[in-house]
Amino acid sequence: MSFIKYGDTVKEGDTAIIFLGHESMFPVKVQDGGKTQTKYGVIRHSTDLIGKSYGSKVTCSKGGWVYVLHPTPELWTLNLPHRTQILYSTDISLITMMLELKPGSIVCESGTGSGSLSHAIIRTIAPTGHLYTVEFHQQRAEKAIEEFREHEVDHLVTVKNQDVCKNGFGVTSVADAVFLDIPSPWEAIGHAKLALKYEGGRICSFSPCIEQVQRTCLALQEHGFTEINTSEILLRVYNVRTVSLQIPDLGRATEDDSTAAFDRGTQTDQDVPCVANLQQGTVQFKSGVPPREMVGHTGYLTFATKSLF
């Protein structure tokens, strides 16, 4: 296993994702002799995990079963230990595309935070790119270094423990892209410009508040960035359900006509997955139902280009 290369079987030292059910999963560090408790009983790493294929069903001690999955940055994002608020895959997707990241890209990031975006960047720029990430919180920086080593991607990333607003990224004229997720990004725009390649590159700043965006946009303009663009992306997830709706009783006299018409309607249109059950007085159909509550705002994403002109 590695976060940048698929492996077939679970090995000692791997980070595997244990999948219990719908959106319920957690990561385990596979160790010979290790044990993990789940609600379906215990998983013994030596016998239940090591040597098994990724994607196989693992039976726990109480007879219940789980799946063992190969780690990906997306699964890691959903399961990582939070040290800060993190970016989720919806925002990460747009950031990756709009920063034009690809194998070989050199990227600067600050702060590292919990490493959710870092893992996604590393996945995308491997095997020839590099990530310079700056985190001013010493413990978080150390924890990130440790995780990158465990996930076998430490050769693709350099973590620096310093204040990006004061000391910058520690590199100059090397980056194709810069990403900022800090409270006062406008103070780091100058450093970002220095870190970007002479011939230009892309920048993105993530901020929850519009006042932050405003100051960032001003700073970007002052530093000569162009194509300044702010957007927001929202994820809508739909639950797939079979729904039954009752047919109203409009009284005996009209029943013959209306139900007959309804019946004919559904029979002629075979493609509509609509089943009229007149005996019970209900109609069934499949629907994608939005959840009662959803994430309405994560942050504004401001993108811009540095160019020679």
Partner 1 sequence: MLCSSRSIKITFEKQWFYLDNAIGHIYGTTFEVTSGGSLQPKKRGEEMATETKEAGTDNRNIVDDGKSQKLTHDDIKALKDKGIKGQEIVQQLIENSTTFRDKTEFSQDKYIKKKKKKYEAVITIIKPSTRILSTMYYAREPGKINYLRYDTLAQMLTWGNVRAGNKMIVMETCAGLVLGAVMERMGGYGSIVHMYPGGGPVRTAANCFGFPESFFQTLYEFPLSKVNSVLSGTFSLNILPSEPEETMAVTEDSNGSLDDKQHPIQEADMECCAELAMESDQPEEQEMVDIPTEGEAFDNNKAKGTTDDKQKKQEKRRKKLIETAALLKDKDADGLIIASRFHPAPLLLSLLEFVAPSRPFVVYCQYKEPLLECYTKLREKGGVINLKLSETWLRHYQVLTDRSHPKLMMSGGGGYLLTGITVINEGVKTGDHAPQMAEEPTSKKRKLQEHV
Alpha-carbon distance values, 38 to 24, 44, 53, 67, 141 (Å): 11, 11, 20, 12, 30
Contact residue for partner 1 among 46, 56, 172, 184 (CB under 8 A): 56
Nearest to 73 by CA among 114, 23, 134: 114
- 37's CB contacts (< 8 A; 6+ apart) are 43
Contact residue for partner 1 among 11, 13, 32, 85 (CB under 8 A): 85
Say which DSSP state 49 is in.
I
Find the binding residues for partner 1 in span 24-43 (CB under 8 A).
Answer: 24-25
- Strand, coil or helix: what is 254? helix
Contact residue for partner 1 among 142, 146, 222, 232 (CB under 8 A): 232
Find the binding residues for partner 1 in span 280-299 (CB under 8 A).
Answer: 286-288, 291, 293-295, 298
Find the binding residues for partner 1 in span 98-127 (CB under 8 A).
Answer: 98, 100, 102-104, 120, 123-124, 126-127
Nearer to partner 1, 282 or 305 (CB): 305
- Strand, coil or helix: what is 216? helix
Q: How far is the CB of 248 from partner 1 (least distance, A)?
A: 25
Is the bond leading into 111 cis (omega within 30 degrees of zero)? Answer: yes
Q: At what angle do helices 116-125 and 138-150 cross, to 10 degrees?
A: 40
* 121 residue type, one letter: I
DSSP 65-76: EEEEE---HHHH
Nearer to partner 1, 41 or 281 (CB): 41
Nearer to partner 1, 152 or 163 (CB): 152
Asked if residue 239 lies in contact with residue 288, where contact means CB atoms within 8 angstroms, the answer is yes
Asked if residue 112 lies in contact with residue 101, where contact means CB atoms within 8 angstroms, the answer is no
Asked if residue 195 lies in contact with residue 169, where contact means CB atoms within 8 angstroms, the answer is yes
CB half-sphere exposure, 165, CA atoms < 13 A: 9
Nearest to 173 by CA among 95, 104, 103, 106: 106
Contact residue for partner 1 among 145, 213, 219, 304 (CB under 8 A): 213
Instruction: Convert 48-68 to b/e letters by CB count within 10 Å (16 or more is b).
Output: bbbebebeeebebeeeeebbb
Q: By CB under 8 A, which span of 131-139, 156-164, 229-237, 253-261 interacts with partner 1?
A: 229-237
Q: By CB under 8 A, which span of 21-29, 131-139, 141-149, 167-175 interacts with partner 1?
A: 21-29
Q: By CB under 8 A, which span of 132-140, 166-174, 181-189, 224-232 interacts with partner 1?
A: 224-232
Burial class (CB in 10 A: 0-12, 13-18, 19+), 40: middle
Q: How far is the CB of 37 from partner 1 (least distance, A)?
A: 17
Q: Under the criterion CB under 8 A, does residue 252 sit at the interface with partner 1? A: no
Q: Under the criterion CB under 8 A, does residue 265 sit at the interface with partner 1? A: no
Find the binding residues for partner 1 in span 122-161 (CB under 8 A).
Answer: 123-124, 126-128
Q: How far is the CB of 172 from partner 1 (least distance, A)?
A: 19
Nearer to partner 1, 33 or 296 (CB): 296
Count of residues engaged in binding partner 1, rule: CB under 8 A: 84
Contact residue for partner 1 among 45, 70, 143, 191 (CB under 8 A): 70
Nearer to partner 1, 96 or 134 (CB): 96
Asked if residue 147 lies in contact with residue 83, where contact means CB atoms within 8 angstroms, the answer is no
Q: How far is the CB of 102 from partner 1 (least distance, A)?
A: 5
Q: Under the criterion CB under 8 A, does residue 273 sit at the interface with partner 1? A: yes
